[in-house]
Chain A
Amino acid sequence: DTGVSQDPRHKITKRGQNVTFRCDPISEHNRLYWYRQTLGQGPEFLTYFQNEAQLEKSRLLSDRFSAERPKGSFSTLEIQRTEQGDSAMYLCASSLPRGGLNTEAFFGQGTRLTVV
């Protein structure tokens, strides 16, 4: 399968614990995006990378969230001291812009986080 893959697919954690999710983009894609989605809402932009550089981070993202893409390939999203409000689907997408514009972005199947 050469699509975007995310791991794990599901994560249940206790409030206060740290969690880390991984995203493997399509291999030649240099852009990688992270989103959070709750029921009935669209994907909420969190951050994105161009190769290993984190170019933008949502103002809505608290300091408990951090993302990395150290070698410009896979990316990790860490949430520290999880809260119940962090329960959501975390989606990753990748793209290969042409002329600075995305022609299509492909999404992974997401990691569903439940904080209890």
Chain B
Amino acid sequence: AQSVSQHNHHVILSEAASLELGCNYSYGGTVNLFWYVQYPGQHLQLLLKYFSGDPLVKGIKGFEAEFIKSKFSFNLRKPSVQWSDTAEYFCAVIPLGNNRLAFGKGNQVVVIP
């Protein structure tokens, strides 16, 4: 079964700092990759997704992620965070032809004003 690893579960940073969250997956075949965000008390929302093509994908709210196939990674970045980016961030992977979505353990991000 595929697994998804997210490191540094708790991240605390100041406004305007840059954010990078790592995501690695263990699956040898073709996968589709997602980052979801869950703001306090809200539902999971899709930030961005990668299926094919340009490995640098841009999502909502200034987030971007880069797929590096050789490293089995899909890291999320934002150059300058805001207090409103305080949330839980989940990386998720689904193998092609499968509808079993595997989540990482998540990153709790707290942005201090």
Decide if A and B are genuine partners: no
B contacts, CB < 8 Å to A: none
